[in-house]
């Protein structure tokens, strides 16, 4: 073929193909960039929502009360939309217009969740009360707001021929606290509490408040704890009918936690303070010392707190956690041990859901499966029987049948409501785009079922090439007062008081190999270990006469190898709660390989700290224990 003919072929055939492919490739790049930009904006807005919730709840004593929770959740939602509107400013979308692209926002809390989505309001307020109307289109009455609070619950009913008859509803939480209500052998009962293996609590001494836990032929014993922190306070003083305040000062105090309030022992009280009644114990109210009364001192003593001196002023919440949990678990065991996962009859748990992997898929086999439930067979299927199961069904273990089923129940109820809410969004906003529940990864579901989280969905925005954006973001709120997870506890050397400025002591994760090796060494046999919550290491601040006051409750610094990088967090919570003799090998400073085993002081401090924080928290459904038939 002549050169002229090849040139003609190139110009007529090859060049147009190259141009078309170039345009197509350029469009794909633009679509990918647009999706990446939306993903970043959505993630940042969700982080802002979580941060707003943290700010509103960490200093709020009533953060776990239902009315306070919905207020904080609403404020967090407003922050999300403000942040999203700011991030999408180049698109010209207002906060109100963004509602058309956000089919749902999920807030998972300790014992249930809220979903922000449009719903149909068919009632209007009149002077004669509510006026209900069935006329008008669906969108005429659509409002964006939160659906009623939904508990993580599941109903179980015995089948014909089973050993015992029961019809029981169990409300789950993000840990091992449950509420049960229903009938067993024809009798109605209700109860709530932390569900554990009570046989592992081998000794509870009511005199010295010691608790012994035994598993796998190994035991630990816990005693009243020395707890302390730095706080910045002022004293309110009234002299000559004039009220004044002392200069703010930061000082270390020992404290105990009682009824979700910290009480501090003051070894040098200001006897001129208004509230002082010859008892050197106070709590904080807007960073002002409020000394307790005789009645309050008696209440603390009845709880088991010795207020006679600073040295005896120690926390005993771990004792109440195990004592109450043992009593609760023993009282309900004979009623719920017969329940198996197959006895669940709640629709959202027994139904299989299909969720979309991509938009506009027409065949059912092109849809993605939802969360796959854990398959529990034989003895493992009895989710509340801690005497059965291949590895022992200890509810405090992450690997237990109880915990796996708990996760399945939480995911199932959330998945059912989200699928319905997002699908119903099409009734509010009809168009060429079909809103549907996307596929969440198993890692995201695990994060949702084990943390207070915010999950946001954004769909329907055109990203080019006849393609629409469909994304979601999951951000865990790991710093909150409502819930203490297995990962919320840090451990450190006990110092009383710790050095505030230039503190060389570091706090570690319990699973840190370096810290376990350090405590195991012969030079540190006399070092005591204590555990605190992650929120206790956050910077505290308040204003006094327009002056900003900043301080740390715990002045220790974070260990890079485990808290920051997580590279050496080798031991898991199951290693600790399962009383395993786990060992790992590390390379020491001398270049030689060393074997490191779990240190029992760290195990005790970790288990005790987690029990302490659980025992100090209040629960919304604790009143169920008031009724027994």
Q: Encode pLDDT of 401-426 as tens digits.
A: 999 999 999 999 999 899 888 888 88
Instruction: Judge whether residue 623 has pLDDT over 90.
Output: no
CA dihedral sign of residues 266, 268, 270, 275: positive
Residue length, the chain?
A: 629
| 3-state secondary structure (DSSP) of residue 232 | strand
Contact 105, 414 (CB under 8 A): no
Which pLDDT score is estimated for 592?
72
Tell me which residue of 287, 242, 289 sits closest to 545, measured CA to CA: 287
Q: Encoding tokens for residue 153?
A: 């619950």
Q: Encoding tokens for residue 240?
A: 């000559």
Q: Encoding tokens for residue 123?
A: 């009632």
Q: Is residue 400 part of a domain?
A: yes
Q: What's the rounded Cα separation, in Å, for the pair 197 and 394? A: 6
Q: What's the rounded Cα separation, in Å, for the pair 335 and 330? A: 10
| 3-state secondary structure (DSSP) of residue 77 | helix
Q: What's the rounded Cα separation, in Å, for the pair 460 and 434? A: 8
Could you count the other beta carbons within 10 Å of the beta carbon of residue 50?
A: 22
Contact 227, 282 (CB under 8 A): no
69-101 pLDDT, tens digit each: 888 999 999 999 989 988 887 666 776 778 888
| 3-state secondary structure (DSSP) of residue 615 | helix
pLDDT band at 130 (very low <50, low <70, confident <90, very high): low
| 3-state secondary structure (DSSP) of residue 211 | strand
| 3-state secondary structure (DSSP) of residue 172 | strand
E strand or H helix at 153: strand 150-157
Which pLDDT score is estimated for 28?
58
Q: Encoding tokens for residue 439?
A: 């596929």
Classify burial at 536, counting beta carbons within 10 Å of its beta carbon; exposed 0-12, middle 13-18, buried 19 or more: middle
Name the β-bridge partners of 245: 236
Q: Is residue 437 part of a domain?
A: yes
Q: Which structural domain range is residue 353 located in? A: 3-123+137-152+338-477
CA atoms within 13 A on the CB side of 228: 23
Percentages helix, strand, coil for the chain (3-state, rounded to 5) are 35, 30, 35
Instruction: Judge whether residue 212 has pLDDT over 90.
Output: yes
- DSSP letter string, 431-477: SSS---PBPPPHHHHHHHHHSEEEEEEEEEEEEETTEEEEEEEEEEE
Q: Where are the beta strands (DSSP E) in 35-147?
A: 105-108, 112-120, 123-126, 129-132, 142-146
442-450 and 401-428 helices cross at what angle (nearest 10)? 110
Give the number of domains in the chain.
Answer: 1
pLDDT band at 2 (very low <50, low <70, confident <90, very high): low
425-448 pLDDT, tens digit each: 887 776 677 888 888 888 999 999
- DSSP letter string, 277-345: -S--EEEEETTEEEE--HHHHHHHHHTT---S-TTT--B-HHHHHHHHHHHHHHHHHHHHTT--GGGB-
Find the mean pLDDT for residues 137-161: 79
Find the mean pLDDT for residues 189-203: 95
Q: Is residue 25 part of a domain?
A: yes
Find the mean pLDDT for residues 530-545: 90
Residue whose structure tokens are 């802002």? 48
Q: Percentage of the chain with pLDDT > 90? A: 53
Contact 258, 315 (CB under 8 A): no
Q: Where are the beta strands (DSSP E) in 347-401?
A: 354-355, 368-369
- Cα 362 to Cα 183, 412, 435, distances in angstroms: 45, 25, 14
Could you count the other beta carbons within 10 Å of the beta carbon of residue 477?
A: 21
Q: What's the rounded Cα separation, in Å, for the pair 281 and 266? A: 6
| 3-state secondary structure (DSSP) of residue 573 | helix
Strands 112-120 vs 105-108: parallel, antiparallel or unpaired: antiparallel
Instruction: Judge whether residue 141 has pLDDT over 70.
Output: no
Contact 60, 72 (CB under 8 A): yes
pLDDT band at 621 (very low <50, low <70, confident <90, very high): low
Q: Who wins on pLDDT, 178 or 591?
A: 178
Instruction: Judge whether residue 135 has pLDDT over 50.
Output: no
Find the mean pLDDT for residues 522-540: 93
Q: Percentage of the chain with pLDDT > 70? A: 82
Q: Is residue 91 part of a domain?
A: yes
Find the mean pLDDT for residues 342-367: 64
All residues at 6 or more sequence positions from 154 whose CB lies less than 8 Å from its CB, including other chains: 169, 170, 172, 344, 346, 349, 409, 412, 413
Classify 545 in phi/psi space as left (phi over 0), alpha (psi -120 to 50) or beta.
left
Which pLDDT score is estimated for 600?
95
All residues at 6 or more sequence positions from 473 whose CB lies less than 8 Å from its CB, including other chains: 39, 42, 43, 45, 46, 455, 456
Q: Is residue 421 part of a domain?
A: yes
- Preceding amide of 497 cis, omega within 30: yes
Q: Is residue 118 part of a domain?
A: yes
Torsion angle of C-alpha atoms 521, 523, 525, 531, degrees rounded to 10: -80
Q: Is residue 160 part of a domain?
A: no
Q: Is residue 67 part of a domain?
A: yes
Q: What's the rounded Cα separation, in Å, for the pair 485 and 616? A: 14
Report the mean per-residue pLDDT for the chain: 85
Among 3-7, 30-34, 158-162, 497-501, the range of highest mean pLDDT: 497-501
All residues at 6 or more sequence positions from 349 whose CB lies less than 8 Å from its CB, including other chains: 154, 408, 409, 412, 413
pLDDT band at 586 (very low <50, low <70, confident <90, very high): confident
How far does the chain reach from its first CA to its final CA, in angstroms? 99
Question: pTM of the entire structure?
Answer: 0.88
Which pLDDT score is estimated for 370?
66
Tell me which residue of 332, 335, 317, 327 sits closest to 198, measured CA to CA: 327
């Amino acid at each position: 073929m002549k050169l002229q003919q090849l040139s003609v072929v190139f110009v007529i055939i090859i060049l147009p193909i190259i141009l078309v492919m170039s345009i197509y490739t350029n469009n794909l790049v633009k679509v990918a960039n647009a999706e990446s930009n939306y993903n970043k904006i959505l993630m940042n807005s969700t982080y802002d929502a979580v941060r707003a919730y943290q700010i509103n709840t960490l200093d709020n004593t009533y953060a776990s009360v239902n009315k306070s929770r919905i207020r904080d959740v609403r404020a967090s939602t407003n922050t999300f939309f403000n942040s999203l509107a700011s991030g999408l400013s180049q698109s010209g979308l207002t906060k109100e217009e963004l509602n058309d692209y956000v089919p749902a926002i999920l807030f998972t809390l300790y014992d249930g969740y809220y979903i922000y989505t449009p719903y149909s309001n068919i009632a209007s307020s009149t002077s004669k009360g509510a006026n209900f109307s069935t006329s008008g289109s669906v969108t005429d009455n659509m409002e964006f707001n939160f659906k009623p609070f939904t508990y993580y619950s599941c109903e179980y009913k015995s089948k014909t021929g089973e050993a015992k008859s029961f019809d029981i509803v169990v409300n789950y939480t993000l840990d091992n606290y449950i509420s049960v209500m229903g009938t067993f052998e024809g009798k109605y009962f209700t109860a709530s509490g932390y569900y554990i293996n009570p046989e592992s609590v081998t000794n509870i001494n009511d005199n010295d408040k010691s608790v012994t836990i035994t598993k796998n032929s190994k035991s630990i014993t816990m005693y009243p704890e020395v707890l302390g922190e730095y706080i910045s306070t002022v004293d309110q003083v009234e002299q000559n009918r004039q009220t004044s305040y002392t200069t703010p000062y930061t000082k270390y105090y020992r404290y105990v936690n009682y009824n979700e309030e910290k009480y501090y022992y003051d070894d040098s009280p200001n006897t001129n303070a208004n509230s002082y009644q010859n008892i050197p114990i106070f709590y904080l109210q807007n960073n002002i010392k409020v000394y307790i009364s005789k009645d309050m001192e008696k209440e603390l003593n009845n709880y088991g707190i010795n207020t006679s001196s600073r040295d005896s002023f120690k926390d005993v919440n771990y004792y109440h956690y195990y004592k109450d949990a043992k009593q609760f678990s023993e009282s309900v065991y004979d009623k719920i041990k017969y329940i198996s996962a197959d006895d669940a009859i709640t629709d959202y748990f027994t139904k299989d859901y299909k969720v979309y992997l991509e938009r506009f898929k027409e065949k059912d086999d092109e849809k993605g499966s939802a969360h796959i439930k854990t398959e529990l067979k034989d003895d493992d299927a009895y989710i509340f029987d801690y005497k059965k199961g291949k590895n022992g069904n200890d509810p405090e273990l992450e690997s237990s049948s109880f915990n796996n089923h708990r996760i399945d129940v939480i995911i199932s109820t959330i998945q059912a409501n989200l699928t319905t809410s997002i699908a119903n969004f099409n009734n509010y906003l009809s168009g060429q785009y079909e809103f549907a529940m996307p596929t969440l990864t198993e890692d995201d579901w695990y994060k949702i079922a084990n943390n207070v989280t915010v999950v946001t969905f954004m769909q329907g925005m055109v990203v080019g090439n006849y393609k629409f954006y469909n994304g979601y973001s999951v951000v865990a709120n790991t710093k909150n007062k409502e819930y203490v997870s297995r990962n919320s506890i840090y451990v450190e050397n006990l110092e009383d008081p710790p050095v505030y400025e230039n503190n060389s002591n570091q706090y570690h994760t319990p699973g840190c190999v370096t810290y376990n090796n350090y405590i195991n060494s012969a030079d540190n046999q006399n070092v005591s270990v204590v555990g605190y919550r992650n929120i206790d290491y956050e910077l505290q601040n308040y204003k006094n006469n327009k002056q900003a006051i900043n301080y740390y409750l715990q002045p220790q610094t974070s260990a890079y190898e485990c808290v920051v990088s997580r590279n050496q967090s080798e031991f898991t919570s199951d290693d600790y709660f399962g009383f395993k003799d786990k060992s790992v090998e590390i390379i020491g400073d001398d270049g030689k390989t060393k074997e490191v085993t779990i240190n029992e002081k760290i195990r005790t401090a970790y288990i005790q700290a987690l029990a302490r924080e659980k025992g100090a928290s209040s629960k919304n459904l604790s009143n169920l224990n008031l009724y027994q038939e």
